[in-house]
């Protein structure tokens, strides 16, 4: 398992957290996602075959900026 911590700009509320968590959880191999808008980070626990670039692209696709 791998853990990714990704800085994200544009999260302003719990709804934003939920959008990101739902989108990332839908990816095959993702086990856990915790978005924290106050800290501006998303923590992901995923299988080893998950690529960080794919996760970042998914976050961008739903309208947030990856820092």
For domain 2-66, the CATH architecture is 2-Layer Sandwich (3.30)
- pLDDT value of residue 48: 87
- pLDDT value of residue 7: 98
Task: Judge if pTM exceeds 0.85.
Answer: yes
Instruction: List, in order, residues 6 or more apart from 4 with CB less than 8 Å away.
Output: 42, 43, 44, 46, 52, 55
Residue 5 in tokens: 């911590």
pLDDT digits (tens, 9 = 90+) for 3-60: 999 999 999 999 999 999 999 999 999 999 999 999 999 999 999 888 899 999 999 9
């Amino acid at each position: 398992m791998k853990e990714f911590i990704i800085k994200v700009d544009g999260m302003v509320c719990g709804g934003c957290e939920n959008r990101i968590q739902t989108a990332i959880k839908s990816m095959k191999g993702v086990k856990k996602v915790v978005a924290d808008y106050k800290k501006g980070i998303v923590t992901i626990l995923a299988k080893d075959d998950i690529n960080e670039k794919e996760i970042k692209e998914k976050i961008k696709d739903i309208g947030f900026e990856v820092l």
